[in-house]
Structure 1
């Protein structure tokens, strides 16, 4: 009876999450189309930057470095209790990226990581540590981006209240995960922890730089601090909301919200945001799809 109830609750939660994602996707798509209006038919008139080919190539190289750093970080995270090779870590990371397309809230990534290790508890804790560190970096730059949005749209009072009340709400929603994270955090070897934090920071800086290169290529007149704030804002919204199709719609809509006061041609916002998604998510996911069929998923083991 308990198993049936758990299965029923899981299906209900999955259905609710799917409905939320569908509503978000539809709302963002409607928002983008409404904002574009007459601009929808001017794509061929877009002036492509002279350095576009070089920028695109550099961003592609950085994509490989980005996912290599993530594989290396995962290898380091497991070395104290269940070592794996960098090749195996790379396969796990890319297969998880592919599974994220069909499983809610990036649980595909977690499933790929846990399913390949014997010690499920330690592996889950290591995954939570990895996510927690990246979330900290995302919040730091994201709050800077939020402050810019608050000033432009004159909602500073609401922004201050949001910062005050956000921590207890996050703590309540993710209490179990956070407790496991802090327990693992206190027990981990300090040298290993420093390496994980260093690799996390390096990876975060790589994909911030990727995004910056593409935005700067299309929006060279905007100051660097504004571009960085916009990147922080887009990444924060992308991390905070349950999404369909790897974040298509939400990412572009959040970019419009941030950059619209500074840019008249919205295509110059949409194109770099779409490209960073294609390069950093779609292409690696296609590679990861090959590895998905090679893994024997056995969570209960």
Structure 2
């Protein structure tokens, strides 16, 4: 790799990404307006579920636990080559969450992480590992959802085609040439990798459970497997699309598309989806704003 300063490739055309995100947001908002008009949705008429205050407190506590796990995972990921304190990990994680509001493809999180470490290559590799693990969990749950939809709508042939094409594509993506980014993966002890995967799994279960609690509070008659499948569908849509404002709009639209055949009152779907966004994204992002001003942000790599 040549010496000098290299910018992250996904920041090279922010105008194009911004246009895509605006179009997606605009399309989602239009869809929601049409649905609200069709069903005459009025949130003033919503009946608050029993024990909702207790459920809300539990979800808020799980939010704290959720971001504690993410900070712990980042600390463990760096422990082998550039150890940081738990306090610093908290600041980096929450600061990155705040930056995601203004940078494309949640790159604010990546920028915050690599900018605070001396070895940018190792930090980038650690961040890629963290994201890759969570992406795998999302894809596994998403594949379960797609398989159920394929069975329901008799699209088994198309689902098999996606799998057959997707596996070699993924394998090719992971077969990269030798570079300084691969040093991290080569030198990472297996015990650290197992610990990172374990923390990631507990964290994934945590925010699935948060979402499940809120959805079951408003949709108590819906089967558990349908709710979990709906959560997987929403996570998959959020992962696949470039988003504004932490995914607001996309979450609600994907939730409506999945749950509309199952429920008669769409506002009972929209409310928990909006609440999980506020609790897991907006609240910690506001806290993270405090740490952003203290960061010296740079994504430059020097050889």
Global fold match (TM > 0.5)? yes
Who is 1:93 aligned against? 93
Change (3 A) 1:233 1:283: same
Residues 114 and 299 in structure 1, CA contact (< 8 A), matched pair in contact too:
yes
Change (3 A) 1:244 1:17: same
Residues 116 and 297 in structure 1, CA contact (< 8 A), matched pair in contact too:
yes
Who is 1:29 aligned against? 29
Task: Report which stretch shifted further, 121-130 or 33-42.
Answer: 33-42
Q: CA deviation at 1:166?
A: 2.7
Q: Note the 1:31-180 alignment, pairs <5 A.
A: 31-169=31-169
The number of residue pairs the alignment matches comes to: 295
Q: CA deviation at 1:143?
A: 1.2
Q: CA deviation at 1:48?
A: 1.4
Change (3 A) 1:153 1:225: same
CA–CA distance in 1 between the matches of 2:91 and 2:263?
A: 40
**Structure 2 residue runs without a partner (length 5+):** 1-5
TM-score in terms of structure 2 length: 0.90
Residues 212 and 227 in structure 1, CA contact (< 8 A), matched pair in contact too:
yes
Residues 14 and 104 in structure 1, CA contact (< 8 A), matched pair in contact too:
yes
Residues 143 and 233 in structure 1, CA contact (< 8 A), matched pair in contact too:
no
Task: Report which stretch shifted further, 60-69 or 46-55.
Answer: 46-55
TM-score in terms of structure 1 length: 0.90
Change (3 A) 1:16 1:154: farther
Who is 1:3 aligned against? none
Residues 129 and 181 in structure 1, CA contact (< 8 A), matched pair in contact too:
no
CA–CA distance in 2 between the matches of 1:182 and 1:136?
A: 19
Q: Deviations over 1:56-102 (max 9, x none)?
A: 11000000000000000000000110100000000000000000000
**Structure 1 residue runs without a partner (length 5+):** 1-5
Q: CA deviation at 1:41?
A: 4.3
Q: CA deviation at 1:49?
A: 0.4
Who is 1:276 aligned against? 276
Structure with bigger helix share is 1
Who is 2:223 aligned against? 223
Q: CA deviation at 1:20?
A: 1.1
Change (3 A) 1:237 1:65: same
Q: Deviations over 1:178-223 (max 9, x none)?
A: x988764343101111110110001001000000000010111111
